[in-house]
Amino acid sequence: MKKVTVSGLLKKKQAGEKITSLTAYDASFAKMFDEQGIDALLIGDSLGMVLQGEDDTLPVTIQDIAYHTKSVRKGTQRAFVIADMPFMSYATAEQTYQNAAVLMAAGASMVKMEGGSWLCDTISGLNLRGVPVCGHLGLTPQSVHVFGGFKVQGRDSEQAQKLLEEAKALEKAGIQLLVLECVPSALGKMISEALSIPVIGIGAGKDTDGQILVMHDMFGISANYMPKFSKNYLVETGDMRKAVAQYIDEVKCGEFPSPQHSFD
């Protein structure tokens, strides 16, 4: 099958085709997801919670992400591979360039960073150095202590407008994808329609350009809890491959996320 590229993901948005994504952390699961036809794989700093048993993502290091990125890349033939920049690995421009180079060398095709317009200069600098960037707005888990917990963002009009403006600023700075997490469905739709780049939702409603889930949540095996926006596909199918295939099908036809997996 043809290898997925960032330009291919953009064409999917332009054609109205939903993009399917999952997190992955090793070669075996990456191979399974890849063979089922997933579009993109994210080596998320969520590994701190689902693999390491931490309460949040903050202890994850650049070395952790690089190790798992290398493993995922070895199991992937066609899916687009994105690697998270972990907490405080992009506090300065020079630090960002060095850490992004580590992840790209490990096998990432793009790096993902959490935050708004304060990142714009750094994003432009990464682009100039040949590093594609995925943004991340809404509930950004690295800021969990600022938010006071894992809370839905953008529920009032002022906050929603700010998120829309931040998304536009990130696109202007040069991001080529945006992950939008835990926002009301109406805001997910608004931001997706306002941007020319693909918007991948997680708890952002069905009207984003695609969906992503943490693989452990999709299989119902997360150590801590099942988020409202996730769905246990393994309990419905009894088989991991069938679970992935069903997830992909439901995203593509717009069945997932349903209202019960979204926020008003």
| pLDDT tens-digit readout, 197-240 | 999 999 999 999 999 999 999 999 986 678 899 999 999 999 99
For the segment 164-192, what is each residue's pLDDT rounded down to a tens digit? 999 999 999 999 999 999 999 999 999 99
185, with CB counted inside 10 A (0-12, 13-18, 19+), is buried
What mean pLDDT, rounded, does the chain reach?
95
Annotated ligand binding at 249? The verdict is no
Could you give the dihedral angle defined by the CA atoms of residues 152, 165, 6 and 139, in that order, rounded to the nearest 10 degrees? -20
- Report if pTM > 0.85: yes
Among the options 181, 193, 250, 255, which is catalytic? 181
Q: Residue 207 falls within a domain, yes or no?
A: yes
Annotated ligand binding at 193? The verdict is no
Note the pLDDT of residue 1: 75
Q: Predicted confidence band at 148 (pLDDT cuts at 50, 70, 90)?
A: low
Exposure class string for 22-61: b at 16+ Cβ within 10 A, else e: bbbbbbebbbbbbbbbbbbbbbbbbbbbbeeebebbbebe
Question: Cα 225 from chain centroid?
Answer: 19
Structure tokens at 230: 């996730």
List the CATH number of the domain containing 128.
Answer: 3.20.20.60
Note the pLDDT of residue 55: 86
- In the chain, how many domains are there? 1
Note the pLDDT of residue 146: 66
Note the pLDDT of residue 150: 61
Q: Residue 126 falls within a domain, yes or no?
A: yes
Annotated ligand binding at 84? The verdict is yes
Q: Rounded distance, CA 80 to CA 36, Å?
A: 14
Q: Residue 57 falls within a domain, yes or no?
A: yes
Question: Quick count: other Cβ atoms within 10 Å of Cβ 228?
Answer: 14
Annotated ligand binding at 209? The verdict is no
Q: Note down the domain range covering 252.
A: 6-261
Q: What is the CA radius of gyration of the chain?
A: 17
Q: Residue 1 falls within a domain, yes or no?
A: no
Instruction: Taking residues 253-262, report their average pLDDT.
Output: 96
The question of whether 255 is a catalytic residue gets the answer no
Instruction: Taking residues 142-150, report their average pLDDT.
Output: 64
Instruction: Taking residues 49-67, report their average pLDDT.
Output: 94
